[in-house]
Amino acid sequence: MQPVLLKKYGWQKYFSNFNSTNNSYSLGRIVLQHRNKYKLVSEHGEIWVRSAGNLFYSNKDNSEIPAIGDWVLFELLGNKDLGLIKSIMPRKTKISRKVAGFTSKEQVIAANIDLVFIVSALDQEFNLRRLERYLIVAKESDITPVFVLNKIDICNEVEEKYKQLKTIADKVPIIKISALEKIGLNQFDNFLKKGKTVTFVGSSGVGKSTIINCLIGKDVLRVNTLDNKKKGKHTTSHKELILLSSGCMVIDTPGMRELQLIDSKEGIEKTFSDILSLAENCYFNDCKHLNEPDCAVKSAIEAGKIDEKRLLNYRKIIDEMDGFKKFKKQNKKYTIKEKKILNKKKNL
């Protein structure tokens, strides 16, 4: 792949530090992910690849399984129209969540993202507590977040919900649009920069695919209309990186109804900095902000400076993180290599 084309698909100086000296491997970026099959853009053009078995069996928590947006090194097979991913280049950023259920495994949603649009529809999908979780994920990986309030055409409380979002957004930009009616879409121009990779996250039905279709200028992504109330259902079943005319790349991902967090200490601290700042003035250093005397956080809630629901969500997430760490420690999974070493030690 020529340097110009590398840059066109998001190649940055950051990745050059990890480039392989193995000339038998080629470099490419995953632009389409459908289950365990991937399409790359590479010096050989677009090529379908699968992942080498060791990438699945050698990591304990799924974090090194290839994901949309990854830069990978791959080997061309026999007829040169199929490849095998041999390794993943270190990610600059990632959006991930814990796999649902009783597991500590990680699911990487997208990799090497510069900016994430956190989309909420102004209907029954509007949920501040869920939006706080998306914000934690973005800030944990130092991805620039932008809130998008969609479907302003069907909401009579746009300004009220905007004010509610401002209470958790801090300095994060908020844009108000209607993708279906094409209202306010010019606001995206400030963020869709050449050579940058952006993605949209949010629940199913908030309008992510409709927004992306508007940015592309044609209906590339399929959207189902549910009823005459202008509600749509996000029907993405795969993950795709699309190059816009502006030179910006956008990744479309399936909607996420559930967002269980991986260990996200830094993201939590950044998202709930207001609560943590107040907590420094509590009488007790280990104040839980429940019934302790001289609690600065409870005083702020009583004064109407902080919503009590925000504190409850903060405590819920902290408890969730503590439970995750405990579960991970008690249920350590060994790789095949580690198991062989352990078995040898047992036989000594």
Per mean pLDDT, which range of 11-20, 114-123, 290-299 is the poorest? 11-20
Asked if residue 48 has pLDDT above 80, the reply is yes
Q: What is the CA radius of gyration of the chain?
A: 22
C-beta separation of 34 from 238 below 8 A: yes
Structural domains in the chain, CATH included, are 3-88 (2.40.50.140), 94-252 (3.40.50.300), 272-330 (1.10.40.50)
Does this model's pTM top 0.95?
A: no
| The predicted structure's pLDDT at residue 145 | 97
What is the rounded CA–CA span in Å between residue 19 and residue 75? 15
Select the more confidently predicted residue: 16 or 97: 97
Q: What is the mean pLDDT of residues 252-265?
A: 78
Q: Identify the band that residue 273 occupies on the pLDDT scale cut at 50, 70 and 90.
A: very high
Which residues neighbour 122 within 8 Å (Cβ) at sequence distance 6 or greater?
149, 150, 151, 152, 154, 155, 157, 158, 161
Instruction: Tell me the average pLDDT of the chain.
Output: 84
3-state helix, strand, coil in the chain (%, to 5): 35, 25, 45
Instruction: Single out the residue of 106, 111, 108 nearest to residue 60, CA to CA.
Output: 106
Asked if residue 93 has pLDDT above 90, the reply is yes
| The predicted structure's pLDDT at residue 203 | 87
Q: Identify the band that residue 74 occupies on the pLDDT scale cut at 50, 70 and 90.
A: very high
Q: Identify the band that residue 227 occupies on the pLDDT scale cut at 50, 70 and 90.
A: very low
Helix (H) or strand (E) holding 144: strand 144-150
Per mean pLDDT, which range of 92-101, 161-170, 199-208, 272-281 is the poorest? 92-101
Q: What is the mean pLDDT of residues 204-231?
A: 72
Per mean pLDDT, which range of 16-20, 109-113, 280-284 is the poorest? 16-20
Q: What is the mean pLDDT of residues 296-306?
A: 94
Q: Identify the band that residue 344 occupies on the pLDDT scale cut at 50, 70 and 90.
A: low
Q: Identify the band that residue 346 occupies on the pLDDT scale cut at 50, 70 and 90.
A: very low
Asked if residue 210 has pLDDT above 70, the reply is yes
| The predicted structure's pLDDT at residue 63 | 75
| The predicted structure's pLDDT at residue 345 | 42
| The predicted structure's pLDDT at residue 66 | 92
C-beta separation of 103 from 91 below 8 A: no
C-beta separation of 51 from 38 below 8 A: yes
Residue the block writes with tokens 């909420």? 120
Select the more confidently predicted residue: 102 or 63: 63
Asked if residue 2 has pLDDT above 60, the reply is no
| The predicted structure's pLDDT at residue 348 | 39
Asked if residue 4 has pLDDT above 70, the reply is no
Q: What is the mean pLDDT of residues 297-314?
A: 94
Select the more confidently predicted residue: 181 or 344: 181
The C-alpha angle 249, 253, 259, rounded to 5 degrees, equals: 130
